[in-house]
Amino acid sequence: MIIFLKRLTFFQPGTPFKGAFYMLFVASSVVDLVMVGCTIHEFRLVSFPLTNEIFENYDCQVCVRTRVTLAFICPFTQDLLNCFIALNRLTAIMQPTQADDLWKKLLPFSICFSYLLSIAIFTPAGARLFYNFPPYDSRYIPWVIVVSDYTLIIYV
């Protein structure tokens, strides 16, 4: 991830990837990488899903619930960043001369706004998961059933 960020951002001198669009793209890719990292057990490792009933006595319930909370936060953040990316492309087409000046001011706001709004909205939901609901209640966490031939069935 660090190599990816280094290649795409202004951290590398002389990089052609400068500007608001690329910064928004990097912020979006960071959200994607966090989403993949936090849902690797639940959705991608079909032999060892932590929300499966075989992990009923798994001690790290904080780990499971933190990852579930991040799984709520990341798609909303991604949607907000996609809206700002679309707005950036629209202003670049409609006002090519003023777009750079506009996005010098709007870029930090858009990234901070996307991250902080997502955290502000979904952290209370995550805290509610920590304290109120049982960890393996199928109404709140998607369960994964692994069949003997390693196919998986996801149900909510």
pLDDT score, position 152: 45
Contact predicate 122/134, CB 8 Å: no
> Which residues in 65-84 are b (16+ Cβ under 10 Å) and which e?
bebbbbbebbebbbebbeeb
pTM of the model: 0.58
**Amino acid letter, 49:** P
Instruction: Work out the mean pLDDT of the chain and round it to a whole number.
Output: 69
Model confidence pLDDT, tens digit, residues 86-121 = 888 888 888 877 887 888 888 888 888 888 888 888
Torsion of CA 18, 20, 23, 27, to 10 degrees: -170
